[in-house]
């Protein structure tokens, strides 16, 4: 079933890339600005809920329609990613004292790129597998 392949591939790509970015860039950036507020160890349950539901929303709203109708993938996914990550970042910057603009810019742009690339790659790989 192509939609399950699409979901699995998109999730795998998203998770691998985000794990790399979180480790190399985001954790050091957030530690520098809000280190005392960060949970150690991280809470895995909310992370799992976020990733599973975010990728499901991405597949439902962007990737599955693009796969089915040969419609656009990158721009709608980019917009979705910028909106989702931007909502979190700009809200946090608005209400939290030590939230830094570099966190907002980095994470919002990353969310847009990650979402767009994962959607595009998931659709391309699914098309390659299911012809």
Please give the mean pLDDT across all residues of the chain: 97
Dist CA 125 CA 4 (whole Å): 12
Express each pLDDT in 37-60 by its tens digit.
Answer: 999 999 999 999 999 999 999 999
pTM of the model: 0.96
Q: What is the arithmetic mean of pLDDT over 88-109?
A: 98
CB 126 within 8 A of CB 5: yes
Are the CB atoms for 116 and 109 separated by under 8 Å?
no
Q: What is the pLDDT of residue 21?
A: 98
> Mean of the pLDDT values across residues 21-38?
97
In whole angstroms, what is the distance from residue 5 CA to residue 125 CA? 9
What distance in Å separates the CA atoms of residue 86 and residue 108, rounded to the nearest whole number? 5
Across 67-73, average pLDDT: 96
Q: Which two tokens stand for residue 4?
A: 């399950």
Distance of CA 84 to the CA centre of its chain: 8
pLDDT of residue 34: 97
Residue 8 belongs to domain spanning: 2-130
Mean pLDDT, range 66-86, rounded to an integer = 97
Q: pLDDT tens, 4-19? A: 999 999 999 999 999 9
Task: Kindly state the percentage of the chain with pLDDT values over 90.
Answer: 98
Number of folded domains that form the chain: 1
The predicted pLDDT at position 1 comes to 85
How many angstroms separate the CA atoms of 116 and 127, rounded?
17
Q: How many CB atoms lie within 10 A of CB 47?
A: 13
- CB distance 67 to 126 below 8 Å: yes
What is the mean predicted confidence (pLDDT) over 73-83? 98
Nearest partner of 11 among 59, 43, 47, 72, judged by Cα: 59
| Residue 64 pLDDT level (bands cut at 50, 70, 90) | very high
Q: Determine the average pLDDT of the residues in 50-71.
A: 97
């Amino acid at each position: 079933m192509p939609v399950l392949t699409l979901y699995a591939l998109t999730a795998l790509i998203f998770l691998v890339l985000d794990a790399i970015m979180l480790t190399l860039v985001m954790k050091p950036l957030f530690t520098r600005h809000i280190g005392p507020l960060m949970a150690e160890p991280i809470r895995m349950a909310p992370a799992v809920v976020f990733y599973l539901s975010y990728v499901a929303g991405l597949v439902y709203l962007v990737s599955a329609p693009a796969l089915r109708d040969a419609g656009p993938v990158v721009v709608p996914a980019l917009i979705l990613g910028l909106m989702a990550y931007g909502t979190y970042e700009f809200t946090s910057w608005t209400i939290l004292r030590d939230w830094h603009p570099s966190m907002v810019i980095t994470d919002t742009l990353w969310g847009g790129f990650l979402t767009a690339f994962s959607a595009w790659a998931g659709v391309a790989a699914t098309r390659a597998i299911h012809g």
